[in-house]
Amino acid sequence: MKPYAQLTPAERKEEYARLQTEFDAWKAKGLSLNMARGKPGKQQLDLVSDIFGLMQAPRDYVSDGIDVRNYGEMCGLPAARRLFADILGCKPEQVFVGGNSSLQLMYDTIAKAYTHGLLHSPRPWCKEETVKWLCPAPGYDRHFKVTETFGFQLVTIPMTDGGPDMDAVEEAVKDPAVKGIWCVPKYSNPEGAIYSQETIRRLAALTPAAPDFLIMWDNAYCVHEFEGDYVPFPDILSICAEAGHPDMVFEFASTSKITLPGAGVACFACSEANMAHMEKLLTPQVISFDKVNQQRHVLYLRDKAHTLELMRKHAAIMGPKFRGVVDTLDREIAPLGIASWRRPKGGYFVSFNAMPGTARRTLALCKEAGVTMTSAGATFPYGKDPQDSNIRIAPSLPPVEELEQAMTVFCVCVKLAALEKLGV
Ligand SMILES: Cc1ncc(COP(=O)(O)O)c(C=O)c1O
């Protein structure tokens, strides 16, 4: 097939009619397939379910002399703090191990800035006339929603191959109303981009007008390669400290996609000064998080090296799914010149850029044929993609056979929407 732009009107009509027949045949099958959210598949959950068998012996109830079944250790079990410090490359004293969700810790950090203020806040953010927030996009919809619910003005920052467009960030932070930025530095959601050394250096070196500017460093996919070797990443806490801004960053991570989403363990890491401030604010809120689950994870994951071994087993399940998705796109869509995408090596998503003005139509067609995808626009602030182009594909949940069907349907819909846009 020639690129669609080179087809004559008659050829376009013919191709459209052929695809319409194919689409109707898929629709008649009454499919119910889901590529909407980045959830691990059943095989991955089964892989880690031996975690339930741990903590049988009474000796497992004690960690560093602490009875994990009781109150105490609000900042997390020392062994759990050491585990995350090993994974993230920072110091255990800089790690706070919480409950089952890093998103909750992120929300809570912003909430605390809003109600009480951060370490260097002249006043709580609720007392500010306007709070603006930088959102590299395409990005993670829930990040954008967190800052939207607090009434912040979301400022879109374009993403490049090496992370957020740093010229735009450096310009934006001259405004004292700009209080922070969302970052997913490794296998960003949904682009799968890894921030370049240069981007990281420039972020750490920012001199924002706001004294309490906050980098929300969500390292959700820090050990999540599904192709190739583990890619090391730098410790953002020490890089910010070396740049003279030790308190400008909070890092987040969790075991949601290492062990069990919703039943894993999450953490934040920050400077010791920030930790002292957060401890003060958290003390009235919680006596201690679930240390039993923390202990289970310490026993199960042990250390970074052992965690990386487990991640290679996840990769053996995830790799074929991602290769299937991208190979289908390469075969079905690439020759037509109507879309672009990346071939990520880790994370949970493939970011697909359809012909501008066709993402919503493509996804409406998918829905009609029984394939659910993340809604169009979700990867942009306020759910509005100005180009109506970006679509997030999440291949992890469906089994391979279902994924193949879902991708075939998706490609038919992408083509139909493009032909409609070109005129049929
Ligand atoms: C970038 C990013 N951060 C955080 C999360 C959620 O993490 P948790 O389960 O630790 O709340 C996700 C889930 O998809 C994500 O993609």
Q: Which residue minimizes the CA distance to atom 14 of ligand 1?
A: 38
Report the separation in Å between the CA atom of 142 and the middle of ligand 1, taken as the mean of its atom positions.
Answer: 8
256 Cα nearest atom in ligand 1: 9
- Could you tell me the CA-to-CA distances from 379 to 36, 119, 194, 359 in Å, in that order? 12, 31, 17, 12
Ligand 1 pocket test: pick from 103, 147, 217 the residue with the most ligand atoms within 8 Å of its Cβ: 103
Atom of ligand 1 nearest to the CA of 100: 10
Predicted confidence (pLDDT) at residue 258 exceeds the cutoff of 90:
yes
Residue 37 has pLDDT above 90, yes or no: no
* Residue to substitute in 45, 256, 350 for testing ligand 1 pocket (most ligand atoms within 8 angstroms of CB): 256
Distance 27 CA to ligand 1 centre (A): 33
- Outline which parts of the chain fall under CATH 3.90.1150.10: 4-45+309-422
Is the predicted pLDDT of residue 56 greater than 90, yes or no? Answer: no
Q: Which of 199, 39, 200, 183 is nearest to 106 (CA)?
A: 183
- Name all residues whose Cβ lies below 6 A of ligand 1: 38, 101-103, 140, 184, 189, 218, 220, 254, 256, 261, 266
Closest approach atom of ligand 1 to CA 348: 16
Beta-strand pair 62-63/390-393: unpaired
Tokens of 284: 């009235």
Per-residue pLDDT, averaged over 237-265, amounts to: 98
Nearest C-alpha to atom 2 of ligand 1 is from which residue?
Answer: 220
**72 contacts 288 by C-beta, under 8 angstroms:** yes
At residue 73, the pLDDT reads: 98
Q: Cα(76)–Cα(290) distance, rounded to whole angstroms?
A: 9
- Predicted pLDDT of residue 1: 82
How far, in Å, is the centroid of ligand 1 from the Cα of 292?
A: 22
How many angstroms is it from 367 CA to the middle of ligand 1? Answer: 25
User: Which one of 84, 96, 102, 392 would you pick to mutate in the ligand 1 pocket, going by the greatest count of ligand atoms within 8 A of its CB?
Assistant: 102
How far does residue 395's CA lie from ligand 1's centre (Å)?
A: 16
* Ligand 1 atom nearest to 257, measured from its CA: 9
Which tens digits make up the pLDDT trace of 270-292?
999 999 999 999 999 999 999 99
Beta strand pairing status for 33-35 and 153-160? unpaired
- Tokens 């990520």 correspond to 344
Q: Report the separation in Å between the CA atom of 410 and the middle of ligand 1, taken as the mean of its atom positions.
A: 25
Q: Which atom of ligand 1 is the closest one to the Cα of 261?
A: 9
Runs of H (alpha helix) within 333-399: 359-368
Nearest-angstrom CA–CA distance, 44 and 350 = 19
Neighbours of 215 (CB within 10 A): 22
Confidence of residue 357 (pLDDT cuts 50, 70, 90): very high
**Residue 93 near residue 275 (C-beta atoms within 8 A):** yes
Instruction: Note the pLDDT tens digit of each residue in 363-412.
Output: 999 999 999 999 999 999 999 999 999 999 999 999 999 999 999 999 99
CATH number for the domain running over 4-45+309-422: 3.90.1150.10
Distances (CA, A) of 96 to 119, 156, 199, 241: 16, 30, 26, 18
Which segments of the chain belong to CATH 3.40.640.10? 63-304
Q: Structure tokens of 204?
A: 């750490």
Q: What is the 3-state secondary structure (H, E, C) of 262-291?
A: CCCCEEEECCHHHHHHHHHHHCCCCCCCCH
Residue nearest to atom 12 of ligand 1 (CA): 220
Contacts 24+ apart (CB under 8 A), 8-16: 9/423, 9/424, 12/419, 12/422, 12/423, 12/424, 13/424, 15/415, 15/419, 16/416, 16/419, 16/420, 16/424
Q: Could you tell me if 227 and 345 are in contact, meaning their C-beta atoms sit under 8 angstroms apart?
A: yes
Residue in the block written with tokens 């010791």:
272
How far is residue 185 from each of residues 162, 193, 267, 370, measured CA to CA in Å? 9, 8, 16, 34
Q: Taking phi first (over 0 means left), then psi (-120 to 50 degrees means alpha), and beta for anything else, what does residue 65 get? A: left
- Ligand 1: nearest atom to the Cα of 188: 1
Sign of the dihedral through C-alpha 368, 372, 378, 382: positive
Nearest ligand 1 atom to alpha carbon 104: 11
Which residue, by CA, sits nearest to atom 15 of ligand 1? 220
Which of ligand 1's atoms lies nearest the C-alpha of 255? 10
Per residue in 92-126, pLDDT tens? 999 999 999 999 999 999 999 999 999 999 999 99
Q: What is the pLDDT of residues 317-329, one digit of tens each?
A: 999 999 999 999 9
Question: What pLDDT does residue 366 have?
Answer: 98
CA angle 167, 173, 178 (to 5 degrees): 135
Mean pLDDT of the chain: 97
Fold held by 63-304: Aspartate Aminotransferase; domain 2 (3.40.640)
Closest to 42 in 3D by CA, of 400, 407, 325, 397: 397
Q: Give the pLDDT confidence score for residue 17 in this predicted structure.
A: 98
Question: How much distance in Å is there from the Cα of 122 to the middle of ligand 1?
Answer: 30
